[in-house]
Amino acid sequence: MRRALGRANFPEELAKELAPRNAFSRAAKELSKERIIRRAEETDDEIRFQFTREFLQGGQYDYTKEFDLYLNKETGQVRCENSHMEQVAQSLVDNHRATRMSSDVTRLIQKIFDTGGSDLVPVRQQGGCYFVPAGNVTILNGVRALLKDIGGSLSEWEITAKSEQTQVTIQENMYSYMLGMVDKFKASCQSISENTSSKVLERRLEEVYELRAKLTSHAPLLRGLAEEVNAAINQSELDMIGAASGNQTLPPPPTTEVIEEEPITEDEDELVYA
């Protein structure tokens, strides 16, 4: 994956190694037959998981603790009082750390677009289909080469705006996409107060600048909805500045639903597997 990124002229560092906790999350799905695995405790170095056996007896379910398993968050090393399970779990964790699933590739492509300042706009809630504005075609060429190099493929259709309905659909998708970015910015400002450092405030103001730059770039696609997005950006900036000056409290996190694509989100680490 790293070599393929380099050949496609992308930074190889984008392909980070799968975190041990995420590798164990995937391994636990294979270990959870007839048992429940819960995260019981976490320190700076390790996570302790409790394995509990579930069985049906006398018409009701009973539960018996089997053992504890410890996972080193940095190295991925597993230790367990059950030597057999320690070997099995270690093998699964190692295999998952070395394997990249389709969801990992999707996450990587999203990261490529994000770090390149480009846009990958979801077209459907379930993911897998995205709209790429014309100005991002160069980065799309690199993604195409990357996928071909690792044995994947990319299906593409060029969209023309001759149809009024097509223009409306693009407008609605871009509007939801831009408002989603504004909502994420608002969520990142929830901890802002008069005690917030100047460096953090500078980063937040840079994010506002980037939002406005994207709005300018996509205004022709947004058409009449661009003003609404601009108003949302302006209000979020005023709320942030007000909270930083101590003159007002930031509103609660936005209620507008922001769709997180299932393939792009990280694996859950709050493990409950039955």
Distance of CA 30 to the CA centre of its chain: 23
Query: How many Cβ atoms from other residues are within 10 Å of residue 192's Cβ?
Result: 20
Q: Is the pLDDT of residue 273 over 80?
A: no
The Cα 226–Cα 216 span in angstroms is: 9
Q: Is the pLDDT of residue 128 over 90?
A: no
Token couple for 107:
């996450």
153-188 tens-digit pLDDT: 888 888 877 788 888 988 999 999 999 999 999 999
Helix (H, G, I), strand (E, B) or coil at 261: coil
**Are residues 94 and 110 both part of a single domain?**
no
At residue 249 the predicted structure's pLDDT band, cuts being 50, 70 and 90, is low
**What is the structure's pLDDT at 272?**
39
Q: Answer whether residue 250 is part of any domain.
A: no
Taking alpha carbons only, the member of 175, 240, 176 closest to residue 208 is 240
**What is the structure's pLDDT at 270?**
40
Angle 40-43-46 from CA coordinates, rounded to 5°? 80
DSSP 251: P
Bridge-based pairing state of the strands 121-122 and 78-80? unpaired
Helix (H, G, I), strand (E, B) or coil at 19: coil
**Are residues 95 and 105 both part of a single domain?**
no
Helices (H), 189-250: 198-222, 226-245
Q: Average pLDDT for residues 182-205, to the nearest whole number?
A: 91
**Are residues 107 and 136 both part of a single domain?**
yes
Alpha-carbon dihedral angle through residues 90, 94, 95, 101, given to the nearest 10 degrees: 120
DSSP 162: T
**Are residues 187 and 229 both part of a single domain?**
yes
Q: Is the pLDDT of residue 248 over 90?
A: no
**Domain enclosing residue 85, as ranges:** 19-99
| pTM exceeds 0.85 for this model | no
Q: Answer whether residue 14 is part of any domain.
A: no
Q: Under a CB-based contact definition with an 8 Å cutoff, are residues 48 and 68 in contact? A: yes
- Total count of domains within the chain: 3
Burial level of 110, CB count in 10 A (0-12/13-18/19+)? middle
Q: Answer whether residue 10 is part of any domain.
A: no
Q: Under a CB-based contact definition with an 8 Å cutoff, are residues 182 and 211 in contact? A: yes
Average pLDDT, the chain: 84
